[in-house]
Amino acid sequence: MGRLNVTLCGIELDNPVIPASGTFGYGYEFAELYDINVLGTFSCKGTTLAPRFGNETPRITEAPAGMINAVGLQNPGVEQVIARELPRLKSVFRKPMMANVSGFSVEEYAAVCQKLDREPQVGWLEVNISCPNVHGGGMSFGTDPRQAAEVTRAVKAVTTKPVIMKLSPNVTDIAAVARACEEAGADGISLINTLMAMRIDLKTRRPILANTTGGLSGPAVFPVALRMVWQVARAVSIPVIGLGGVSSAEDVIEMMLAGATAVEIGAANLREPFICRDIIADLPRVMDRLGIDNLRDIIGGANQ
């Protein structure tokens, strides 16, 4: 194994860098810019059972040191993802990918995961129980440990691939939710999704987003995400993926010291489409400066 290699739920990655769901499309779009096989893997756009147009516009606005989005899980639905998106991806990406799954009921989560579980390109199922931008699903499952466990059990009952539960930061005790998912059979935890936020137009005196509220991402949330990754890594024995405001090789290393096995990069992709490639290239330099021989040795270093 090389200096950057890590193992996520039994699958080896060339490096821990993973573009986050919703910021990297279905992968092949970025393959027009660079060879995406340099990535550890990537998490595809959130996929639901039926096609979704998403929320009304405007659904993105700027914020200090970040952005707020209320896209609302726009996607073509799982059948089209399997029939159209995955074959296009296969032509440019030779590694297992991470399928991000969203739903509006326990049954829907299970149905989508069962369909994607059959696809050889899918290495992991990242189950999003944390989206703050939709009504009647998403985050509602991730704010209650019992409901989070119910989704986890339902998905595990119909899948054979590693299941990673993506958690919401909009809770009082995120460690309790993570423990509930682990006890229900989750193979890993990813966190954090976006923080609930809003902006008001001073001229119209109305919320800027048509959805009123959305999810805050970007550098502003990094310290919050780091704290929650640290808490969850101490609370569970399964792998943790850290995300939230990561935008440099130093941020990746900090997340890993907090307990992350791998690190997702989200909003930074929208500002700089080459950011993941460049962070991977920069990791050896930063490791040398900090006296790190290999990344596997530092996972959870701040928890010891």
Give 131-149 pLDDT, tens digit per residue: 544 444 444 677 889 999 9
The order of strands in the sheet holding 60-63 is 60-63, 66-69, 214-217, 195-197
- Going from the first residue of the chain to its last (304 residues), give the mean pLDDT of each consecutive group of 10, the final group possibly shorter: 94 98 94 97 95 91 93 92 96 97 93 98 94 50 88 97 96 96 98 95 97 94 98 98 98 98 97 97 98 97 85
230: amino acid identity, one letter: W
- Which sequence spans correspond to the domains of the chain? 6-55+72-196+217-303
Residue whose pair of structure tokens reads 């996607």 in the numeric block: 75
Pair 253, 301: CB distance under 8 Å: no
What's the angle, vertex CA 172, arms to CA 170 and CA 173, rounded to 5? 110
Asked whether the beta carbons of 174 and 231 are under 8 A apart, the reply is yes
- The confidence score (pLDDT) of residue 140 equals 63
Q: How many CA atoms lie within 13 A of 4 on its CB side?
A: 21
How far apart, in whole angstroms, are the C-alpha atoms of residue 275 and residue 30? Answer: 11
Task: State whether CATH 2.40.30.10 applies to domain 6-55+72-196+217-303.
Answer: no
- Rounded to the nearest 10 degrees, what angle do helices 275-290 and 249-258 cross at? 70
Predicted confidence at residue 73, as pLDDT, reads: 86
Q: Which of 135, 190, 136 is nearest to 162 (CA)?
A: 190
Residue-level pLDDT at 133:
42
Structure tokens at 185: 């059979």
Active site residues: 131
Which amino acid would we find at residue 84?
A: R
Identify the DSSP state of 242.
E
